[in-house]
Amino acid sequence: MSDAITITGIRGFGYHGVFEHETKNGQEFYVDLVLRANLTQASHSDALVDTVDYGAICDLAVRHICGVPVQLIEKLAGSIAQEILNTFLLIDGVTVTVHKPQAPVGVEVLDISVSIERTR
């Protein structure tokens, strides 16, 4: 399937991390999504019911970013992907990238991210 919806830079403040200062002080996280689905019907009908509600997808991602803390962004990405597949039956596959630009590493970096891909 070559049809895709891409959402870039969903931002939220969360308390994810391994270290105490991360879970106490929190930081910003960003999520990018690539949603793979057959969009043929929507391309003909021009009807929201034939595609995916981008707003609902963004809200779902923010709920995870701002929700229950996890230690690893791998876990955060996996949780987002699983809920997307469980909730939006039109979606055949999803790639979730979680960015943690303020990750506590010993050198200066622009960003650290994890990408996972899940399919039905």
pLDDT 10s digits, 64-116: 999 999 999 999 999 999 999 999 999 999 999 999 999 999 999 999 999 99
Other CB atoms within 10 A of residue 117 CB: 13
The highest-level CATH class for domain 4-119 is: alpha beta
**Interior/surface letters 53-91, b for 16+ CB within 10 angstroms, e for the rest:** eeeebbebbbebbeeeebeebebbbbbbbebbbeebebb
Confidence of residue 55 (pLDDT cuts 50, 70, 90): very high
Give the C-alpha distances (Å, rounded to integers) separating 63 from 36, 47, 50.
21, 26, 24
The active-site residue out of 36, 64, 99, 100 is: 100
Other CB atoms within 10 A of residue 118 CB: 16
| Annotation says 24 is catalytic | no
Sorted by sequence, the CB contacts under 8 Å of residue 103 that are 6+ apart come out as: 109, 112
pLDDT tens digits, one per residue of 4-32: 999 999 999 999 999 999 999 999 999 99
pLDDT for 2: 81
The answer to whether 29 touches 90, Cβ cutoff 8 Å, is no
Q: What is the value of pTM for the model shown?
A: 0.95
pLDDT of 1 above 80:
no
